[in-house]
Chains A and B, each alone.
Chain A
Amino acid sequence: MPSQPVDFANDLKADFNADFAAQYDLEIKHAPDAGGHFGQFGGRFAAETLMQPLQEIEDAFFAAWADPAFHAERLDLLKNYVGRQTPLYHAKHLSAEAGGAQIYLKREDLNHTGAHKVNNTIGQALLARRMGKRKVIAETGAGQHGVATATVAAMFNMECAIYMGREDIRRQAPNVFRMKLLGAEVIPVDSGTATLKDAVNEALRVWVANCEDTYYIFGTAAGPHPFPLMVRQFHTVIGQEARAQCLAQAGRLPDVAVACVGGGSNAIGLLHPFYDDRDVRLVAVEAGGHGLKSGAHAASLAVGKPGILHGSLSYLLEDAEGQVQGTHSISAGLDYPGVGPELAAMLEAGRLQLDAATDDEALAALQLLTRCEGIIPALESSHAIAAGLRMAAEMTPDQIVLINLSGRGDKDMGTVFELLGDQIDGSVQDGGAA
């Protein structure tokens, strides 16, 4: 195994495709103010010990973003390592099932590592390397961000530790094994509710004590400035590609763009490039759990109120005294009580519409997409599919619903098997497989 870090900057692929790079708009649009505020949301509500390290990341990010060499390397990796661009797929059978609008799927599940998360970890790992950090840490819920972080850490030959709630480790065993196989240390978090929010708390604590040599690869478009802006910028490749692909394939923009929302990274990545296309409705689908009235859900935007957690001011599920509430979702990746501040600002500005899908609806959407298109979506993405199907059903065949298929469902097979295994086994026997 090579132990020498490879100098990628001097090793750009000879076949680096200028046309590929040219499709992306690198201008930072709808930027927050200098303090990272999107309207009243966002900011940098961090302990003093983190203020200087965060400032250093902000400075490094803006310097990198202005440096063509950074983008040359980043986009080269996105093309030749991640496999971008990802396809936009006209799901004709799913559209027929909906019986209304045409459904197009942005296939982020086809990225290397199986989800959109790697767009961000490539960018932040490059930043960490520019800053001279040797170790990276990350929090993870479903394990997709953990896997994406462990993957780039393996490639960049960096030490890597992933913090993950004990409950999520149980739910997402295959991803835990993948991370370990990639050489990362997976550290269980038992505090609080032992899920994603507690993993963030623990990663922040560890980072505070080790910021000299350690970079924290934050996994969603939330947290203290500059993370919401930076993570958004690394993910806008999703929406920029989808916008151009939709124009090329259908000759027009979609009527609706739909994405699931936990912290909001795939949503902001898909939706933000449509921000100024005023005729495109932007819809965020939250985890409805057992239903929004049940109290067992993760719908921060729909049910929460503004609050301060993990470094920024945004919508938060909390009790009357500001104690953060436990959340519930069938999908670990949406099981988070907060949400990115820019989505909160877009909601307040009337530029974002909300929807929710319950556990059952997500599970049904997963089965439907699998059966009619041969695509097994992640449980997170299945929420967007469920809501997108409902919307499409009420639209006309000349209209377009664009759905972000943010990840593939392999990691969820354990959960799905627990819930559906008997039925599926039964159908095999009925079919006379034996």
Chain B
Amino acid sequence: MSSSRLNALFERCRSEDRSAVIGYLTAGDPNPELSRELLLTLAAQCDLLEIGMPFSDPMADGPVIQAASERALAAGTHIDDVFALTRDVRAAHPELGIVLMGYANVPYAMGFEQFAERAQAAGVDGVLLVDIPPEEGAICDAVLRAHQLDRILLLSPTSPDARIALAGEHGSGFIYYVSLTGITGADMGDIAEIHDKVAHIQAATEMPVCVGFGIKTAAQAAEVARFADGVVVGSHFVTTVAMADDPVAALQEAAADIATAVHQARGGDAG
């Protein structure tokens, strides 16, 4: 079972023969105030927004998202702010898919019951916890399900068929395929290999398969959008914001570029 909003979103994209546009930003980066404006800006260009929960030890993230986490925490971002920002995005975008992304210890410290309750109340559709693989799902799966929150699971180039089956069994909403064996923001892997693996996973599961980690340009986004059910861009947006004199305008432009590329990816040559 899956949240109706995520189902509807991927259904809509399928009927339009296009990939979903998925953007990521760390909540509270560079501070909760500006982060609200940035999240709203990105949300307007996306089908689905991943909102990162800042964590002191982001082991699976590269330097860009590590720095975003450090900035957010240094600016005094608390989990209350993450939920408040999420509520504001939800209020402005009733159709948008919203996934909270982060590391296990933040919801674990709060208690999964309370975390799930608050996430649901804030309008979250799904939760992606990088360091809770299906094998450790006992600590959160039932609670998330009880609050109609999808459990988004990752697959990677190193995942053998048995793990693909495991993700199909325990995950819901969509599969997040990590396009490289590395950390967020590294260089994207070989596109033909990504295509093969995604096609393989698509054949093995009923869930949409979205691709992320390492997609930095509109051209790369378009390539992936030809076959993936969703294209995730994160580090590229975080960098854009961090480098810009006018972060909101810069993000607006970068997000529009990616969105346009994804929207047109299949129309151009595939017809």
Contact = CB atoms under 8 A, between A and B. Distances in A.
Q: Do A and B bind each other?
A: yes
Interface of A: 35, 43-49, 51-53, 191-192, 197-198, 201, 204-205, 208-209, 211-212, 306-311, 313, 316, 318, 320-324
Given A47-B131, A208-B183, A308-B104, 13 more contacts: A44-B135, A45-B131, A48-B159, A48-B167, A49-B60, A51-B163, A52-B158, A191-B63, A205-B59, A209-B182, A313-B108, A320-B109, A323-B73
A324 B59 contact: no
A117 to B, nearest CB: 23
B110 interface: yes
B59 A201 contact: yes
B178 A49 contact: yes
Best-surrounded residue of B104, B106, B131, B157 (most CB of chain A within 10 A): B131
Contacts of A53: 158
Interface in B94-135: 103-110, 130-133, 135
Contacts of A192: 56-57, 70
A209 B179 CA distance: 12
A47 B108 CA distance: 16
Best-surrounded residue of A43, A308, A316 (most CB of chain B within 10 A): A308
Given A45-B132, A204-B59, A205-B59, A321 B106 contact: yes
B46 interface: no
Interface of A is mostly: mixed
A192 B60 CA distance: 14
Contact of B105 (A46, A47, A204, A307): A307
Given A44-B133, A47-B154, A49-B156, A209 B56 contact: no
A272 to B, nearest CB: 24
A137 to B, nearest CB: 14
Given A43-B136, A208-B182, A307-B108, A324 B154 contact: no
A322 B114 CA distance: 14
Contact of A48 (B66, B105, B107, B153): B153
11 contacts: A47-B59, A48-B154, A48-B167, A49-B154, A49-B158, A51-B135, A201-B58, A310-B57, A310-B59, A321-B110, A322-B108
Contacts of A324: 56-57, 105
Nearest to A321: B79
Contacts of A310: 57, 59
Interface string B52-75: 000111111111001000100100
